[in-house]
A and B are shown apart, each in its own frame.
Chain A
Amino acid sequence: GDSVTQMEGPVTLSEEAFLTINCTYTATGYPSLFWYVQYPGEGLQLLLKATKADDKGSNKGFEATYRKETTSFHLEKGSVQVSDSAVYFCALSSNQAGTALIFGKGTTLSVSS
């Protein structure tokens, strides 16, 4: 079945460092890909998404490109801030009606000043 694998955390960075969180997927067909962010004690917020190959999702300085050839959707940010500290989830949707998102295990990012 479909699955998502993302790098284990935690990831600890200093402010203004470059961030990469790797995410790869296995899916039949042509899924949509997402990155969600979860702040402590809160639900999930959509960070960015891409619905087809070579699409680049971007938001708040974060970017991710849908790479079909490497089945990847790595999250990047050029300069992280303390406020980016959170848990990041990579997810895919098979695009079939009524099916739930499939999530990676989540990666905790901790940014210090």
Chain B
Amino acid sequence: GAVVSQHPSWVICKSGTSVKIECRSLDFQATTMFWYRQFPKQSLMLMATSNEGSKATYEQGVEKDKFLINHASLTLSTLTVTSAHPEDSSFYICSPKAGGTEAFFGQGTRLTVV
């Protein structure tokens, strides 16, 4: 199956700092990248959708200036949480998708803001 690499797997940062999460599709080209967040014992909530070379489309309620998404190439996308606050603590998961119906998922990043 497809290989997706998401880093870091966990990160602890201080309030007010920024954190960058990388997601790479190692053996396929991702025309679309989805970013999800997951709160404890809850389902995945779609945050934004990005296509390579285009601006991301954010779901309602997700602040685009706070969650910066870059999809510069077909194999790399980044999510930067800017000026992080404790309420941003969550599990973030990337999901690159090629042309088919199946989506693939990164291993997730546990962000804790203290």
Contact = CB atoms under 8 A, between A and B. Distances in A.
Interface string A88-111: 010001010110110111101000
B46 A100 contact: yes
A104 B43 CA distance: 7
B103 A105 contact: no
B6 A100 contact: no
A50 B76 CA distance: 29
Contacts of B93: 43-44
Contacts of A49: 101-102
B96 to A, nearest CB: 12
A43 B51 contact: no
Contacts of B51: 98
B108 A46 contact: no
A69 interface: no
Contacts of A103: 43-44
Contact of B101 (A32, A42, A45, A105): A32
B106 A43 contact: yes
A93 B95 CA distance: 13
Contacts of B4: 43
Interface string A32-50: 1010100001111110010
A51 interface: yes
B70 interface: no
Interface centre among A44, A97, A103, by most B CB within 10 Å? A44
A98 B32 CA distance: 6
A95 B43 contact: no
A14 B33 CA distance: 39
Contacts of B105: 36, 43-45
Interface of B: 1, 4, 6, 31-32, 34, 41-44, 46, 49, 51, 93, 95, 97, 99, 101-108, 110
Interface of A: 32, 34, 36, 41-46, 49, 51, 89, 93, 95, 97-98, 100-101, 103-106, 108
